[in-house]
Structure 1
Amino acid sequence: MTAPRMAYQYVVLRCVPRPDREEFLNVGVVLHCQSADFLDADWSCDRERLRALDPGLDVDQVCESLAFVERVCRGDARAGEAARQPLGQRFGFLKAPRSTVLQPGPVHGGVTDDPARQLAHLRERLVG
């Protein structure tokens, strides 16, 4: 018997060091699968590529922002009020556009039988 196919949504997280130049680097993915009660993030911060976009960028702060996203996904109390919300509201919080260095791209969707494996696949394909 095959596992059921479940719909999911995801956003790619982009580091935009200088919005005036409209350059960005994909640094993470957030995936939400409501039917599997799943919300998680997977990320990778390529310090050299980020510094190539902006030598003055605080890459440690970018990594801390990505860790915050991960904590929100996992309901970690250190992430504050956002982490205490239901999964769908947490995803809504994380996919909302912001004018910061770390920005979510558009929402995309698909179907999967394994949300965690799909998240790893998307991170590898879209972030590297």
Structure 2
Amino acid sequence: MTTKLTPYEYAIIQAMPRIERGELVNVGVLLYSQRHDFLCAGTHLDETRLRALDPAADVAGIRAALNAWEQTCTGGGASEQMRLGERFRWLVAPRSTILRAGPVHMGLTLDPASELERLVNLLVR
């Protein structure tokens, strides 16, 4: 592990249970560090918060979508041949689905995994 702060990019993963209403709940953080060869989605689905936006929200569907995002980070499915940066850009691309990524932000860290956990606690939990 390096002892020098290195840049990373992150985006908040947001669930929009009813696209026509445009209401969001933060359900995870996607963090990419090229220098650390790191891409991971830290997720936490608060069912109570989700159901406050839409009592009929498809919780199982949202969990499945979050799982698919996590698998994309590790090279599962269609992302198998993609480099980490390509996977990150694919996930943060604008979309009109039940899950989307918010704007991409930058930071500096020594340890991307610890920083991901900190961001999930700060921005999602």
TM, length-normalised to structure 2: 0.94
Q: Percent identity?
A: 45
Question: 1 CA distance for matches of 2:93 and 2:108?
Answer: 22
Aligned counterpart in structure 2 of residue 109 of structure 1, from 106, 111, 114: 106
1:22 matched to which residue of 2? 22
Alignment gaps of 5+ in structure 2: none
Where do residues 43-82 of structure 1 align in structure 2 (5 Å cutoff)?
A: 43-76=43-76, 80-82=77-79
| Alpha-carbon shift at residue 97 of structure 1 (Å) | 1.1
Give 1 or 2: higher helix fraction.
1
RMSD: 1.1
Compute the displacement of 1:57 (Å): 1.1
For structure 1, the 5+ residue unaligned runs are none
Give aligned pairs, total: 124
Runs of 4+ in 1 over 4 A off after TM superposition: none
Could you tell me whether the CA contact under 8 Å between 1:97 and 1:103 is conserved in 2? Answer: yes
* CA-CA distance at 1:55 after TM superposition: 1.2
Query: How many Å apart are 1:60 and its aligned residue?
Result: 0.7
TM-score by length of 1: 0.92
User: In 1, Cα distance between the equivalents of 2:18 and 2:10?
Assistant: 24
